[in-house]
Amino acid sequence: MDDLLSDFLTETNEGLQNLDGALLSLERSPNDQSVLGEVFRTIHTIKGTCGFLGLSRLEHVAHAGENVLGRWREGSLAVTPGGISLILSAVDRIKEIVAGLEASGSEPTGDDTALIAELDAVFNGEEPPVAAPVVQAPVVEAAPVVEAPAPVVAAPAPPVEAAAPEATAANAPQTIRVAVEVLEDLMVLVSELVLTRNQLLQLARTEANSPFTVPLQRLSQITSDLQDGVMKTRMQPIGSAWQKLPRLVRDLGQELNKKIALDMIGAETELDRQVMEFIKDPLTHMVRNSADHGLETPAERRAAGKPETGRITLNAYHQGGHIVMEIADDGRGLAVARIKEKVLRQGLATEAEIAAMSEQDIQRFIFRAGFSTAAAVTSVSGRGVGMDVVKTNLERIGGVVELRSREGRGTTFTIKIPLTLAIAAALIVESGGERFAIPQNGVLELVRVGDGDGPKVETIKNSTVLRLRDRLLPLVPLSRLLALESRPKDEGQPSFVVVTQVGSQVFGIVVDRVFDTEEIVVKPVAPILRDVTMFSGNTILGDGSVIMILDPNGIARATGLGAEGSDNPAQAAQVRGATRGNSTALLLFRAGDGAPKCVPLGLIARLEDLPAERIEQAGENLVVQYRGNLMPLVPISGYATLPPPDSRQALLVFGDGAHSMGLMVDEILDVLEAPLAI
């Protein structure tokens, strides 16, 4: 493929990305000349360049569409919904031809006579029928032209010595085109650099007063900054994953004879391009479900006292190291009675088990494979596939999906997914003599069991559980799950429970030792281990060891603890019901005079217990060398005094990613859950 054709495909793809949205905006505001001008210019540019490159088929379709747009633009022909549908069909045909051109380097064969004849008829003043346009499934579902095999992204350009005076005066940001493959290779190199940094830091920790300590701290900081910079080049606004949805909702509305409005909030929220690829299909399916299952027909909505137009709302925002996305509709909600009937008919639960379950637990049966409440099979849904695939695909990238629904009021799905899959913070643990990594975003807390008066492990009906404060948590001994040889332990030697959460299910993973948290580079699982769902990848530690990354979602499925995988739904519902929805986890500690104090556990990055000799005085402040950086320490009393020699200092470490500080406390007492009203 020559450079001219490659540049044409790049520019055409960029123009086509926004064309559907612009046409739908024009349908809502037929007199908006700015939008009409934008659509006309895009089609006109495609037509003109086609003639230069000798792409006759593409030129004829674009020319016929341009003729209609020209009459709309000059005001001699009115913009109508039927005309918009026809232009959308022409855009679909252009996308199909461009995709074929991109794949083979030459125009694909095809007959466009009927489409061009319809466009010419509209150009000559005939009114097109108002009907749902024929949407080709590959274009709507996969949109090959939008996501080209070698797309380009905009990245900040390097400074130019002699900038044009006009550009300097306008102070316009300069951009260059960079192939995605180049960014992927750069990300791989940064990942290897992070691994090497971890190895050097591991070596430096073994030597006291090493001359390499200071330069390694500088190297670590530069590596972190470089990692952040490369991650930013991979970030894209989530709105680019939503581009197809307005067109999809319009076509579904015509096909289903429904009036549907789509609201999109937070389209500028950014996430990793790789994560975005994973969520496109689940997102499309959930919007289809909302349109088909969720929203009623205009007549049904009038009878229910609702506006004729149903509303689907997409909302995205950042929360910690995650993206939270909500897909909500104001439709009929989930029919609990119908779900119960289907559950009983399929033998998924008994009447006694259903009676013990909450309404939300019953509703979550829609995530079971083969489960559908549709009254009839349609072209949109009703085949019993979909929501289970959505859930599985999201779990592959460490995401979870939650459900809230009120019958007659609507349904909201909440998706929580990680910002990126390339580099993540993980907790390093050991079980059966082998080390593993657990993604830190799935760890709620660590509990030491087996010594003193702390939490105890109990056995109830052959199941091991942990009595943690006011609830029972099911436990998964990791060595038993992975068939590892358990090493004999000293009498009274404690074990550790990593408390994690999958959806609304909270459970504990029993391990022998807990090491430290570390930034790990996530490598994909080898093909031979793809069927072992307990692992989500592997990584290389600072000492060169290769270890597996545990997947809490896969562990929950393998042990039957997941809400949808449990063999005993009533028991799963009972455990989930113990979670206090209106309570906040608080860390209770003593510091200074007066009563014990507490802080929300979610604000704390780590708990540390350091030897006093590691704490240094810097002027009037106390500091400590912490993870390659100098961390300030803040005493609760406000007076900075060094702790006594040979003692230990408890710290609550707070951080916002780039900075951290340690709060000096006397004693950490407990973690409790209580309502927090400020």
Q: What is the mean pLDDT of residues 600-619?
A: 82
Q: Look at residue 356 in the predicted model and tell me its pLDDT.
A: 79
Is the pLDDT higher at 542 or at 134? Answer: 542
For helices 273-289 and 245-256, what crossing angle results, to 10°?
10
**Per-residue pLDDT band at 581 (split at 50, 70, 90):** very low
**Per-residue pLDDT band at 568 (split at 50, 70, 90):** very low
pLDDT beyond 70 at 57: yes
pLDDT beyond 90 at 312: yes
What is the residue-averaged pLDDT of the chain? Answer: 77
The CA distance from 394 to 416, in Å, is 9
pLDDT beyond 80 at 167: no
pLDDT tens per residue, range 113-158: 899 999 988 888 887 765 443 333 333 333 333 333 333 444 333 3
The CA distance from 568 to 584, in Å, is 28
Give this prediction's pTM.
Answer: 0.59
Using DSSP bridges, classify how beta strands 463-468 and 471-477 pair: parallel, antiparallel or unpaired.
antiparallel
DSSP letters for 352-368 = HHHHTS-HHHHHGGGGS
- Tokens linked to 122: 């509209």
pLDDT beyond 50 at 393: yes
Q: What is the mean pLDDT of residues 579-600?
A: 75
Half-sphere exposure of 253 toward its Cβ, with a 13 Å CA cutoff? 20
Q: Look at residue 137 in the predicted model and tell me its pLDDT.
A: 33
Q: Is 543 helix (H, G, I), strand (E, B) or coil?
A: coil
pLDDT beyond 70 at 12: yes
**Per-residue pLDDT band at 587 (split at 50, 70, 90):** confident
pLDDT beyond 50 at 566: no
The CA distance from 290 to 296, in Å, is 10
The CA distance from 365 to 553, in Å, is 17
% pLDDT > 70, the chain: 80
% pLDDT > 90, the chain: 6
Which residue has tokens 């130019």? 160
pLDDT beyond 60 at 609: yes
Is the pLDDT higher at 546 or at 313? Answer: 313
Q: What is the mean pLDDT of residues 373-391?
A: 57
Using DSSP bridges, classify how beta strands 546-550 and 535-540 pair: parallel, antiparallel or unpaired.
antiparallel
pLDDT beyond 90 at 313: yes
The CA distance from 134 to 144, in Å, is 17
**Per-residue pLDDT band at 565 (split at 50, 70, 90):** very low
